[in-house]
Chains A and B, each alone.
Chain A
Amino acid sequence: MNTLWLYLYFPQLQLDLQPGPAQQEPPAADAKAQPLVLLHSQELRVHQANTAARQLGIRPGQTLAHACALCATLQVLPWQPELEQQLLDMLALDCYQLCADLALAPPNALWLRLDPMLQLYGGLPLFLAQLTGSLHKYPLQFHYGGAVTAEAARLLCLHQPGHIAQSLSAQQLALQQCPVTLLDLAPALLQQLQRLGMQQLGPLLSLPPAELSRRFGAELSRYLQQLQGRLPPLLRYYQPPEQFSVTLELLYQLEHHPQLLAPLRHLLQRLQHYLQRRDLLCYQLQLELTLRDTPALCLKLHSPQAEARAERWLELWQLKLEALKLPAPVLGLRLSASQYCSRDQSSADLYAGKQGQYSPLQLIGLLQAKLGAEQVRRPIQLPAFLPEVAGSSIAVQRLGNADLLPSGLQVQQSAPAYGSEARADNSTLSSSVQSQQPTAHRPAFLFATPEPLQQQVRLLPGLERIQSQWWQGHNEARDYLTAQSADGRWLWVYRTDQQHWFVHGVFA
């Protein structure tokens, strides 16, 4: 039996599946939707255009100016190749359920090798029905074409979408009229072929191969041989990412969260087993709760310290679930893991003396589970003049793990107030001065909100005037001074334009 390849092409992958405004309206309403194009940011050319935009004459390849001239209310979004790659991976994973011989054709197509599968599905029509059914759950445009060789399938898909040539002779016939411009060859080579008057594949294939290879070298003849099945295709076969994901259907309904712990423990033990067998640890778990008459509930748990042991994870889940109020009885659980690392990558800090039963990262994990990920923060220093902007904090979760360790050292090294950033541009007068007095008078303790000055103080000489951040709407000028209070504390005070006095911080 012949091989049979199917080429699945998604002409506007990002446009169709993009999360956000573009997707709010279903594709059926697309015609009435607002004209929208995706723009190739470097070339400033239209990359994809929705139906509404096409109806106005906007085509991929047009310049932005051209498209804007055609439609004054055009909505323009950047084309994101990485996003398309992710979407393609997602579609590949879906198709992988149907057919295991799968190859990616980035940025927006897939190859499926069908011949081993047809028997299983009971013939081509049934397989195609399955495939289209599974793709139709997305608001997605797609075309397919099939042929004996992978490259021929691609050409047929682009030239005669929907056509499937199951034999070599049918393939040969179908390819006769195929435009040369579709061939997957270097643009310069394509141009050469066209400039010999070869517009279609038929005449090209009828030329003596020896004459062709003498003129165009090996690339063309290798390509034509692959096309005709005399050489095997060079494809990158798809391997699905290995994932831990286990589902547990409950035979009873659970109504309170403490009851969840028992089945969860069971799932976590399976996770532990899975990880240990692979010598892995993981950072993040996802728990999906199937609820009665209510959409499923999805919970995420992140641990800064990679972990395999079920007991540790259970501890964290316990804290996390404490805050949970179940909206409906639980019918099932599904636990999946993501973000793995190998065991030796996460060796503990050799010099960090064990201060309790938890390592610092484990502690952070506990706190996050208890308080919420956004609540566990660490201070950072931003290059800005206004003290409240310069001294800020960021959720620990948004920092990479590398930034968290070893924490002791990092605190001591935290960036001086003005130095490093100011040095980046030494072209101005003031910064070169500042680079010499980097920390000039910044108190160790800064108040979250400045407090009115309500005591007698003695001012020290040396005034610093700060008026910055106008783009965020700050207009006031502040004159900062160091002051000593009656009880001997050193205060950092400022005076506003209106002569109001505030204390902004205390020197330690």
Chain B
Amino acid sequence: MHYAELFCQSHFSFLSAAASPEQLVCCAAELGYQALALTDECSVAGVVRAHRQIKQQQLKLKLIIGAYFRFAADLQLVLLCPDRRAYAELCRIISNSRRRAVKGQYQLDEWDLKSCRDCLVLWLPSAIPASDQHWGSWLKRQFGPRLYLAQHRLLDAGDYAYQQHCQQLSLSFDLPACAVGAVLMHEAAQQPLLDVMTAIRLGQSVADAGLALSANRERSLRPISKLKQLFNADLIEQSCRVAALCQFNLDSLRYEYPAELVPPDQTAMQYLRQLVAEGSAFRFGDSVPPGISAQIEHELQLIAELDYPYYFLTIADIARFAREQQILYQGRGSAANSVVCYCLQITAVDPRKISVLFERFISRERDEPPDIDVDFEHERREEVIQYIYQKYGRQRAALAATVICYRLRSAVRDVGKALGFAITQLEYWLKQLNRRHPDLSWWQQLAQHGLDIHSRSAQQLISLVEQIRGKPRHLSQHVGGFVISAGPLHELVPVENASMAERTVIQWDKDDLETLGLMKVDILALGMLTALRIALTLINAEREVPLTLAGISQTGDDPAVYRQIQQADTVGVFQIESRAQMSMLPRLKPACFYDLVIEIAIVRPGPIQGDMVHPFLRRRDGLEPVSYPSPAVEAVLSRTMGVPIFQEQVIKLAMVAAGFSGGEADQLRRAMASWKKNGELLQFEAKLIHGMQQRGYAETYAKQIFAQICGFGEYGFPESHSASFALLAYASAWLKCYYPLEFLTALLNSLPMGFYSASQLVQDGKRHGLQVLPVCIQHSDWDHKIEQSPTGPALRLGLRQVKGLQQDVVGPVLQQRPADGFISLSQLKQSGLRQDQLAALASSDALQALSGHRFASRWQLLDRLDELPLFRQSAQTTPTGGPAVLQQLGLDLHTEPATTPCPLAAPDAWQQLGEDYQSLGLSLTQHPVALLRQHQVIARQSLQRACDLASCRSGQVLRVMGLVTVRQSPGTAGGVTFVTLEDETGQINLIVWQATALAQQQTFISSRLWLVHGVLQREGLVSHLVVGKMESLDQLLPSFHSPSRDFH
């Protein structure tokens, strides 16, 4: 007996069905079904996963693509795709229905159904006699022989009558009836999960959801023997016949690259060769080094062989557009650091500086497209995106989707609510979940906070949270992954609305695209590129020969720049500015480009969790011999002295040292990318460790490698990425070294980005001797700029730093500003600023020149006398000069209306500071800590400052004071919290052990100003203070805002 299931929904019918596509196809194959139609509601989001599972597991099951729709209140249909045309039609119908409605919903139109000419249509009668009579004849008229009546047996209260009703309809409309399961679960045991999902969807608890839940467990994949009892043989036979009509397979989707990039008389490969030849002349001059030209030829052959010329042409075209618009960009990703990409100017990394092996990026065995991400200036990425839309049209370009899934917290919250737990209780528990307890599971942690894990409701909570984790909640847009096609995209995959206006998203994510071999281009945003472009513009204004990114890269390894890097003087420098990087720099002492590549990759969870940092440092310092367990390993690790650092090294190790096949290594790579989400990685553990042991490697080494693989999860860092980042790191360090003022100005103009706040950047600049001038309505522009002051060039803070101002309002005001500045506050008031914007200016002290201190400015602004109708009217009628009537009254617009002098006292130093931080986030006057040192309680103590630490010896007991700026407890640090204190001379790095933190919890968590007693720990130039005792000095701080970035 055969059976084909024609109506089956997966969890991609969000919160309406419980099973994953993978579970459904596996289970259906196990039950011996011939075919399974995956028919999610107005969606094909799950089909690629089902398709991949069937191929990977070599299941004997035919996958049918279809979708389920509701139309009006009383019509439900399933559309199935017999062939490619029907598939294109289905995608079009889904796209149209989705595009009509807001994100996450759809609206089927009568026209969609009328225009449906190729799909097979299954009608699910509603059991309302009148509607079924109406729709029966309507559908029959529309679809004729393509219409089938789908009869399900849910064994619910109405089941018996429904069967009679369907038979009746089948007879009266002469419709072939087929059996369907209306499946929502792959196995009966999923009923609680399905009910919980229903309750979440309805925003109720299961106890309140009542009859909306499932009455029984019949909506699962049922054994054929049971189906045989439920349906008569004709119905089942008819299902098989319908399935036999469906011959469409996703493998037949052939991606067609957009053709317009290639001139009509050339092939794509010819054109690519031509562009590469032009590019190599540009990059290398007339004499291309022989090694390079051989490499180019080799890469081109591989590209031709695998048929990827269009891919490279597409990206080269986008890069060309960015160059023309002077948008700074940088390519990275698996194929980006090839010589071809260097020639096509997709990347500026000189391939001679790193050892590139093209096969590492594109491989013959792995039949998948190359991957190039391109970073653009974050403020101008939109221009690139609009270029793509405009060039290929919205019909042919869309963003890839990202599936947003349940994580632990969202799962506990939603399932908890559905099971009737109180919301405050759940929120409390969620706050208690501590990721720093690796050995306790989440429910054990909750048990410590009052969850009785033996109670029924707790058991249900635990079980259901575990079941729902990783289940999709909704589709969202990928950060920048574009799909571009030759024909309309909606014939390939449905397109729906994203939450952002004017953005469209396809229903598949990047893994799905990869599975089907569809091309994706990542258009990403990077703040540092903005900063670099602004700095270069500022510098080039003064230069004859413009400076470029590639130009900086080509100057060679500049010792002065590396000296600065080795001293960890890297505030603001791309990637190597974090505290962890800064404490690594003096130890690793990068002295050339490749050192930077390693530096960037090594301070990452992968190498740290794999315990690879210290072996590498020891080998580099010559304290430990460089050795290799085998020649095969040497080939993989020779670049990094035998220590695996990059992601691809680890994958390659799995192949040469643990015997993974190419396909397995590829699965490993994918599992790494998503292991936080679904934990798939763990299945490789035994195989890797066992495989390595079998080949003679020590177990500890194997375990280290696996720990490293886990560390790479989500933060995987291949060498090519690191190389691209290293280029930007070098360029920014070079600018900081030679053009510090321009660099600081550019950084401030590109915020928010990077690791440091404006305040920290400005303080660093001041310590380097740069002059910074305050915001001033008479001198400042919107952006920060460089100004010639009597004491030389200085950075003038721009109005963008002022909280509460918008560029579109300030711009026109600045245009009206007279050359010598505004004469009076009234004149400024007439320039069109609203009261709150004037107040914002007063807060920033930008009105000092017009109206004195802040309080006086505000006092004047609050006085609305000059806004009385008489004044307003006169200002409108005569924009310049005072009207006669006012002059008669003895008033002149250019002078202040006669008011009594301001009765308010000027702000004191603390008030100034508080206002500065509140309005600007930084202060150019004294640092609060410097101010506090004058306090009698503090003045008596002997305290060290940040700048004094360099002259203290290791082991010395010290006392310091500072504002807490960062509290970090990285997962890799085993309970240690890294705290950064700031005083007027710089940063002090603290290490707080878990026990210390717990013992002095109140200060540790709540306090903003610490007085710390600790022991200095020094290793070369790196010094940390290990905290013994911390005292809170908050009581000495008058109320003022200093932002701290905290872990909670």
* A residues neighboring B (CB under 8 Å): 39, 41, 44, 56-57, 62, 64-66, 68-70, 72-74, 76-78, 192, 195-198, 203, 207-208, 211, 214-216, 382-385, 417-418, 421-422, 424-434, 436-437, 440-441, 461-468, 470-471, 473, 477, 479
Contact = CB atoms under 8 A, between A and B. Distances in A.
A425 B863 CA distance: 58
A473 B460 CA distance: 10
A428 B424 CA distance: 31
A436 B862 contact: no
Contact of B214 (A39, A74, A433, A468): A468
Contact of A208 (B217, B427, B903): B903
B156 A64 contact: no
Interface stretch (B157-165, B648-656, B696-704, B713-721): B157-165
Contact of A196 (B219, B425, B449, B859): B859
Interface residues of B, number: 76
Given A197-B905, A433-B127, 12 more contacts: A57-B1005, A66-B1005, A211-B900, A214-B863, A215-B859, A421-B210, A424-B212, A434-B158, A465-B218, A467-B191, A468-B214, A471-B207
B74 interface: yes
A312 to B, nearest CB: 40
10 contacts: A70-B1001, A76-B425, A197-B906, A211-B903, A418-B211, A463-B155, A465-B156, A466-B216, A468-B213, A471-B192
Contact of B158 (A78, A382, A383, A440): A440
Interface string B975-1006: 00000000000000000000000000110011
Interface centre among B152, B218, B1005 (most CB of A within 10 A): B1005
B198 interface: yes
B855 A429 contact: no
B202 interface: yes
B1005 A437 contact: no
Contact of A425 (B127, B212, B904): B212
Contact of B843 (A195, A211, A385, A425): A195
Contacts of B457: 471
B456 interface: yes
B157 A440 contact: yes
A66 B1048 contact: yes
Given A470-B191, A477-B217, A437 B152 contact: no
A197 B162 contact: no
B40 interface: no
B445 to A, nearest CB: 10
Interface of B: 16, 70, 73-74, 76, 124, 126-128, 152, 154-162, 182, 191-192, 195, 198, 201-202, 206-207, 209-219, 419-420, 422-425, 427-428, 431-432, 448-449, 456-457, 460, 843, 854-855, 858-859, 862-865, 900, 903-907, 911, 915, 1001-1002, 1005-1006, 1048
B152 A429 contact: yes
Contacts of B192: 470-471
A429 B162 CA distance: 12
Given A196-B859, A421-B211, A64 B907 contact: no
B904 A418 contact: no
Contact of B198 (A198, A428, A464): A428
Nearest to A181: B1039
A208 B1001 CA distance: 49
Nearest to B918: A195
Contact of A464 (B16, B159, B213): B159
Nearest to A434: B158
Most chain B CB within 10 A, of A65, A215, A430, is at: A430
Nearest to B460: A471
A468 B215 contact: yes
B102 to A, nearest CB: 17
Contact of B157 (A68, A421, A464): A464
A440 B159 CA distance: 10
A76 B428 CA distance: 7
Contacts of A418: 157, 211
Given A421-B210, A437-B161, A66 B155 contact: no
Contacts of A473: 456
Contacts of B182: 429
A64 B427 contact: yes
B1006 A70 contact: yes
Contacts of B448: 72
Contacts of B211: 383-385, 418, 421-422, 431, 434
Contacts of B864: 214-215
Contacts of A424: 212
Contacts of B215: 385, 430, 464-468
A68 B432 contact: yes
The 8 closest A-B pairs by CB, nearest first: A383-B210, A462-B160, A57-B1002, A215-B862, A437-B158, A465-B155, A425-B212, A440-B157
B127 A436 contact: yes
A206 to B, nearest CB: 8
A433 B163 CA distance: 11
Contacts of B449: 72-73
B919 to A, nearest CB: 10
